[in-house]
Structure 1
Amino acid sequence: MQKFSTRRVGALLLAASTLAATLAGCAPVVLGGVALSGIVAADRRTTGTQVEDESIELHAVNLLHGHYGDRIHVNITSYNRQVLLTGEVPTAADRQRVQELVRGLENVRSVVNELGALPNTSLAQRSNDTFITGKVRASLVDAKDLTANAFKVVTERGVVYLLGRVTQREAQRAASLASGVTGVVKVVRVFESLSEEELSRMSIIRPDTAGNGNASPR
């Protein structure tokens, strides 16, 4: 049984392989980051920030496993040094403690704590969440008016969390697409806002990054 598993969900085809990895073993603490290879250039974060986010996720996994072992199920997703915590812990005190531990890590600037004081979800539920993530990613890829790689998608108990540096138009469009996916209970935005002017300047400075990549329910 694997102790850790990295979710590397791209579009719908990649979701199938991710689902197989999930079924291969339990994952009490899960990384939320995607592979850096081939993605660094297609991201609205700087390369340095992407590396920092990966480092934050890895350090958080090790830290929480050292404190809790397999007694908790926490998904850790860092985007632009803002960490989203999803999953389940035994008590409200554990929920607060996990937040404090992660907040104390180097380079973490804020934490969005969406942990539930609940029993750990079943393998079937986690597999369904992975499948939903894949479908949401596919809908973003299919949308001609969005840059899919500007978004990171996390699903927990049917709730879809959307992260990224996006404009208001992009945020609304992505949330609308995600909410229309079968099985989605709610969509929560964990975005950082960009103005259309900022996005235009970014595209001019980094034309190769025009490609694909605080919490409030919509």
Structure 2
Amino acid sequence: MLRTTVALTLLIAAVLFIQGCAGLVVAGGAAAGAVAASDSRPTQVMMDDKIIEMAATDKIYSDRELQTRVHINVNSYNYVVLLTGEALSQDLKNKAVDIVRHLKKVRRVHNEIRVADLTSFESRAKDSWISSKIKTNMFSTKDFDATKVEVITENRTVYMMGIVTEEQGAKAAEIARQVEGVAKVIKLFEYFEPSNTPADAAPVQTTG
């Protein structure tokens, strides 16, 4: 049942995505098209990343041992997967990571899962607020393209993914640090030189 639901969700998402890219006049279509046009990834890579996220989430929460004993978020950007959240034991954490590492097209996994009690709804709501606030501030920052940065917050730690220049990455982190409630910022960007293209990006992880 879960796999059927995920497949249906994926199909709907794909249709909406294509509609947005085509510029059809639908609710949110213009915004979706603008974001797709600005994203550093080719369209096929964007679609593949969404498929990876859905497949990983499905496999993790379809596993009887994991489904009620972990809280794991899956984010994929340019085939690099970030796993955040909590697992009640090291064995459960390892199992979830192993599932994702063996998914088709995944080239790297950033394992940021903590062995700890699962976070509360209140904590997750606060994390969502932090991510939304950071993105809002990015969009209101002059000469900064917020569409090139993905923001994920877990337990007040902010993770940033994207294909950017070092200057863009530093600016994104600076914006994030200024938001109330942020405890730490971890940059998982792939950097490229301004004279090159995003295809030349090299992965870098820094904490600040």
Indicate if the aligned counterparts of 2:75 and 2:82 stay in contact, CA closer than 8 A.
yes
Mapped pair 1:57 → 2:58: no
Q: 1:94 deviation in Å? A: 1.7
CA gap of 1:200–1:44, structure 2 versus 1, over 3 A, is closer
Match of 2:207 in 1: 217
Q: Which runs of 5+ in 2 are unaligned?
A: 1-5, 7-15, 21-31
189, 196, 199: which is aligned to 1:198?
196
> In structure 2, how many angstroms separate the alpha carbons of the residues matched to 1:57 and 1:189?
20
Alignment RMSD, CA only?
1.9
Q: 1:167 deviation in Å? A: 0.3
TM-score, normalised via structure 1 length: 0.76
Indicate if the aligned counterparts of 1:91 and 1:117 stay in contact, CA closer than 8 A.
yes
Q: Higher RCO, 1 or 2 (CA under 8 Å, sep at least 6)?
A: 1
User: Percent of aligned pairs with the same residue?
Assistant: 32
118, 142, 147: which is aligned to 1:149?
147
CA gap of 1:93–1:216, structure 2 versus 1, over 3 A, is farther
Residue type of the partner of 1:181?
V
> In structure 1, how many angstroms separate the alpha carbons of the residues matched to 2:147 and 2:97?
27
35, 43, 48: which is aligned to 2:39?
43
Deviates more, 1:118-127 or 1:193-202: 193-202
Residue type of the partner of 1:58?
M
Highest Rg: 1 or 2?
Answer: 2
What is the number of residues matched between the two proteins?
A: 174
CA gap of 1:117–1:200, structure 2 versus 1, over 3 A, is closer
Per-residue CA deviation, residues 138-180 of structure 1 (Å, 9 max, x unaligned), is 1111111210000000000000001100000001111011011
Runs of 4+ in 1 over 3 A off after TM superposition: 199-202
Q: 1:199 deviation in Å? A: 4.7
Indicate if the aligned counterparts of 1:160 and 1:188 stay in contact, CA closer than 8 A.
yes
Q: Which runs of 5+ in 1 are unaligned?
A: 1-5, 7-34, 203-213
